Amino acid sequence: MSSAPTLVLVLLAVVLAALVAPAPARAAPSSSADWDWLFGPDADDDAQDDDYQRRYGIDIVGGDTADIKTVPYQVSVEVNSAHSCGGSVLSARWVLTAAHCTYGKDPRWLQVRAGTDQLQRGGSLLAVRRAVNHPKYVHGHQDWDVSVLELAGTLSFGSTIKAVTLPAAGAEPSTNTAVLASGWGLTQAQKGKGRSGRPAPNLPQQLRKVTVRVVQRSTCANVYRGVLTDRMICAAAPGKDTCTYDSGGPLVDSARGVQVGVVSWGQGCADPNYPGVYVHLGNKDVRQFIKSYAGV
């Protein structure tokens, strides 16, 4: 029997395999030049020296430890007494966080810990009376990812607990503005998880912070095609980012002390191809929602 038909079948199999084979993954960048498409060649020199973290990076990637007195608005949102998300103080009775942090959770499971930079230790621990997600939020989708928590008690303000200032309705953060994010993200992020997840071990005991910069909206929209909305802003810096378990935490304009965003979602952590995405607190609809409940 001739081997010609067999040879033809083998060649056909090789061609088909080449057609369906996945494209190779993008290699990790060897230098900060890979970030030039976001920031240009003059990106912050200190940031350029940070070790690059792959898609599933570590906690607040590229950050430093934080004293609660430098970010007194920061809180931990706990589920069944374990840290789950971050949040920020709006007033003595209201806290701001992300909707995906509270979706489907009975308020009786929730607590807010304020006034401490230690994970699950110290500060003031208050029960949550109710959690109100934006009415347009849909579980599993990134849009309208904002929630306000009404506390069962009252926070006592001082050097470690202060309310954050929110932007005016319609305010847009300028491109390249330095913004500060803070939180208790995982020491090593887990593949397949976003910026929050089930309570887990190996979280850093000390609060951490990182400075990133606002990314031009059109640039970010080009990255997240069809997903980025007017209720979102983007921020990034070479080798720096928020990550798993930082969700709901604040993104604050460093110069003005105004919270411009809420940690929401992103593709991996500190991936140079994908900026972090935050709830846009200057959006008129988002601001109206917060004001209608918290009064600020």
pLDDT tens, the chain, 296 aa long:
445 555 444 444 443 333 333 322 222 233 344 545 454 444 443 333 232 222 323 356 667 899 999 999 999 999 999 999 999 999 999 999 999 999 999 999 999 999 999 999 999 999 999 999 999 999 999 999 999 999 999 999 999 999 999 999 999 999 999 999 999 986 444 554 445 545 455 778 999 999 999 999 999 999 999 999 999 999 998 878 888 789 999 999 989 999 999 999 998 888 889 999 999 999 999 999 999 999 99
- Taking a C-beta distance cutoff of 8 angstroms, is the pair 196, 244 a contact? yes
| Tokens 């230098």 belong to residue | 31
Active site residue 159: no
Active site residue 145: yes
CA distance 225 to 213: 21
Give the bridge partners for 135, in sequence order: none
Count the Cβ atoms, other than its own, within 10 Å of residue 281: 27
pLDDT of residue 56: 29
pLDDT of residue 202: 77
Q: What value does the CA radius of gyration of the chain take, rounded to a whole number of Å?
A: 21
Selecting among 246, 247, 253, 264, the annotated active-site residue is 247
Report which residue type is found at 175: T
What CA–CA distances, in Å, run from 119 to 123, 189, 203, 210? Answer: 10, 17, 8, 17
SS3 at position 87 = strand
CA distance 151 to 208: 25
